[in-house]
Amino acid sequence: MAKQHVGLIGLGKMGAPMAANIAKAGYPLSVFDLNEAVKKDVAAATGGKAAPDAISLARDCNIVITMVPDGKAVHALLIDGGLADAAAAGTIFIDMSSSDPTGTRELGKEMQARGLKFIDAPVSGGVKGAENATLSIMIGGDPAVIDECEDLLSTMGSQLFRTGALGCGHAMKALNNYVSAAGAVAAIEALRMGEAFGLDPTHMADILNVSTGRNNTTEKKLKQHVIPRTYASGFSLGLMTKDIATAVSVGKATGQDIPFAESCLAYWADALEKIGPDADHTAVVDKPKS
């Protein structure tokens, strides 16, 4: 059985290696990015087609993946930009961006009204996970549609989680990043306190990683990015803050009391203002005192 023609829109640090893994698995591939040079480079590297515009891609493909900054950009592409009207009935759209889950559900209604299929499938695992096809993918939507996409999603991730109805994938991604962000703050503040008291930061990281304080930051960021101050994890401060804000919006929409999440958001928002959105999120260690 011939593999479906896949289109991928958004060829940034994550999208480009994801496109490479789709092509490697033998799927016919079309790609699009606003950056013409990047689009042509990815098409050449993957053997795919550089679509002249996003609408042409939507017309040509059976499955369209969006990997763009947020849900507003997704809506701007699909509805305001005309992709949903250009695509054939039955086309599957997969939003792998980090989008607001409430907005995803509203967008799903608009897509369904046009006879289109729509699921959300955000990812975790960073650039290395994208390059190695070992991403964790959190999928929300109609199980029958997910069945149609499972083989394709498996080309990009080694762990696929069906999280529930449409929007649940985006909710899970935001909540995961909130937990990660909270752990990062605790690890970095502990490092500061310990160093000021006379502890060696590298030794602290080693101890944390075999003790109950171990978390993603202690394992993958302290010695790699924070202690040497290389700040090259590949995930920006702006994106981290956006995801925490999305998690807080999930809490408010569901009527939860979330004082710690709100405090965490305030901490990262303060860092965003002082350091800037384009800084690597691990640079939060250098956040000036309030």
Cα–Cα distance measured from residue 115 to residue 110, given in angstroms and rounded to the nearest whole number: 9
Listed in sequence order, the residues at least 6 apart from 155 whose beta carbon sits closer than 8 Å to its beta carbon are 21, 22, 24, 25, 27, 133
Q: Which amino acid is at 264?
A: C
> What is the distance between the terminal CA atoms of the chain, rounded to a whole angstrom?
61
Contact 84, 116 (CB under 8 A): yes
142 class by beta-carbon count within 10 Å (0-12 exposed, 13-18 middle, 19+ buried): middle
Buried-state track 62-80, b at ≥16 Cβ within 10 A, e below 16 = bbbbbbbebbebbbebbee
Q: How far apart are CA 99 and CA 70, in angstroms?
A: 5
**Residue 249, CA distances (Å) to 97, 120, 149, 202, 261 in order:** 17, 18, 29, 36, 10
The catalytic site residues sit at 173
CB atoms within 10 A of CB 280: 18
- Measure the CA angle with vertex 13, ends 126 and 276; round to 5°: 85
